[in-house]
Amino acid sequence: MTATAEDCLFCRIVAQQVPADVVRESARTLALRDIDPQAPVHVLVVPRDHHADIGALVAADPTLVAELMAEAAGVAAEERLVDYRLVLNTGASAGQSVFHVHVHVLGGRPMGWPPG
């Protein structure tokens, strides 16, 4: 299942049609607190443009991948996280529930392996 920009939750957040707790913004990205946090700090970094998953983003705009990672690191620094996890889920069976690429920044507790 994939979303189009018209029915995508993150596109609606970027367009300010849906409220969100925004913690950081750049010209091409937006970082917001997850509404169902899996750690004391759980922030999502999304591109403003719609790309269904990381594969689609890499094919369309590889420089934006670097910007997403830089913004994720910036979130971690602003949240004063020394140790943190970055997660990108691709596909429903991998746990992707919103089909607009996004990086999870998780921290504030020990992060064992496997995740959970």
Catalytic (active site) residue 50: no
Considering the candidates 42, 50, 100, 102, report the single residue annotated as catalytic: 102
Asked if the peptide bond before residue 37 counts as cis, ω within 30 degrees of 0, the response is no
What are φ and ψ of residue 23, in 5° steps? -110, -15
Find out whether 30 and 46 touch, Cβ atoms under 8 Å: yes
Find out whether 57 and 47 touch, Cβ atoms under 8 Å: yes
∠ CA 15-41-25 to the nearest 5 degrees?
30
Residues with catalytic function: 102
